[in-house]
Amino acid sequence: MTTSVAASAAAKGAAVGGTLNRSLLASAKAIIPPLSADRHKGQAGRIGIVGGSKDYTGAPFFASMSSMRFGADMAYTVCTPEAGNVIKTYSPDLIVNRILDPQRTMDDVRDELAELMQRLHAVVVGPGMGRDDFMQGCAEMVVKLAREQEKYLVIDADGLWLLQNKPDLIRGYRRAILTPNVAEFARLCKACQVDNKTNPDDAAKRLAIALDGPTILEKGKVDRITDGKEVLNVDLEGGLKRSGGQGDILAGCLGTFAGWCKVYEEEVEAGTRRDDIPRDKLLLFAGYGAAVTARTCSRLAFREKGRALLADDLLPVVGKAYQQLFESDDPQASL
């Protein structure tokens, strides 16, 4: 089938390619806190999105909005002042914290970051972060604070640039999940002296083993999620348009799932949730749930927009993707 014919078929709602693993989807669903009149604002997830620099304001916006559209109660966008002035105009729903100010001392930035992060269930670091020394220094600061506070941590985009240069920052930390694309994965493998030219599943596992803690969500034609022990593959059909920003949608949904991992832990400890999921598998299942969600969003938006698809077109369908995957009696049929 040619690309144009495939696009036309997808746009008309042809049968969805790839498969959903019902058992894995059920495990991901078990992490999600149920909606309840007894909950108050923030109990279903307070997520920090750390990124946003002079040249990149879209990425943190997409990550923050998809995080809330997916089900988090609150998303805090932590960025530079000049980025924040722009991002704040995108939506009144956004909480924008202009903490990453190069005019301030790093001690002042750290103190304010540390105070904010205490309130969060999970942190996403990287979307629109940039690679200049100040922003990379801020990314390093967030990783260190997350480890000190034992926060769930998603590292994406320019956060991965930091790790390829300083992999020891994340080595051994089991509450982190990394989201490399093909190029980022290759650079991380090189930094960790992992051969990525052999079996793709084995390469992903070896990278996770080399880092000794973080879960890996390798994005590609097939997404691979691994903790170094097992590999979950996601081949569900997405859209054919590879517009920039779709990875930020994944990062936002994954950030919410990571926050829900923390909520799950707290509620199991409090005795208000059943203890059904091993702690060391939480991010593995969260990664699976976020990956199938992002692909479903891409496919739904592509059916409507086709070649004109932009990342912004995925935001309105995040809720629909959630409903089809996690609220349908037959998720595969509903796709």
266 assigned ligand-binding residue:
no
240 labeled part of a ligand binding site: yes
48 is in an annotated binding site: no
Question: 126: annotated binding-site residue?
Answer: no
Q: In sequence order, which ranges of 77-105 are alpha helices (DSSP H)?
A: 81-87
Q: Where are the alpha helices (DSSP H) in the chain?
A: 3-11, 22-31, 58-70, 81-87, 106-117, 133-149, 158-165, 182-191, 200-211, 246-270, 282-305, 318-326, 331-334
Q: Is 246 annotated as a binding residue?
A: yes
Q: Nearest 10 degrees: CA dihedral of 283, 128, 296, 182?
A: -70
Rounded CA gap, 96 and 90, in Å?
A: 11
Residue 188 contacts residue 217 (beta carbons within 8 Å): no
User: Annotation-wise, does 187 bind a ligand?
Assistant: yes
Flag whether 86 is marked binding. no
Q: Is 295 annotated as a binding residue?
A: no
DSSP characters over 212-232: TS-EEEE-SSSEEEE-SS-EE
Tell whether residue 219 is among the known ligand binding residues: yes
Is 185 annotated as a binding-site member?
yes
Q: Is 226 left (phi over 0), alpha (psi -120 to 50) or beta?
A: beta
Rounded to 5 degrees, φ, ψ at 155 are -115, 120
CA distance 129 to 78: 10
Q: Does 128 belong to an annotated binding site?
A: yes
Q: Is 125 annotated as a binding residue?
A: no
Q: Is residue 241 a known part of a binding site?
A: yes
Q: Is 281 annotated as a binding residue?
A: no
DSSP state of 132: S
Confirm or deny that 321 is annotated as ligand binding. Answer: no
Task: Please check if 238 is assigned to a binding site.
Answer: yes
**Side-chain-side CA neighbours of residue 78 (13 Å):** 25
The whole-angstrom separation of Cα 312 and Cα 309 is 8
Asked if residues 235 and 219 have their Cβ atoms less than 8 Å apart, the reply is no
User: Most distant CA pair in the chain: distance in Å?
Assistant: 58
Residue 220 marked in a binding site? yes
Confirm whether residue 228 is marked as ligand binding: no
Question: Do the annotations mark residue 25 as ligand-binding?
Answer: no
The answer to the question of whether 248 is labelled as a binding residue is yes
Instruction: Pick out the residues of the known binding site for (6S)-NADPHX.
Output: 128, 181-187, 248
Instruction: Pick out the residues of the known binding site.
Output: 128, 181-187, 219-223, 238-248
Instruction: Pick out the residues of the known binding site for ATP.
Output: 219-223, 238-247
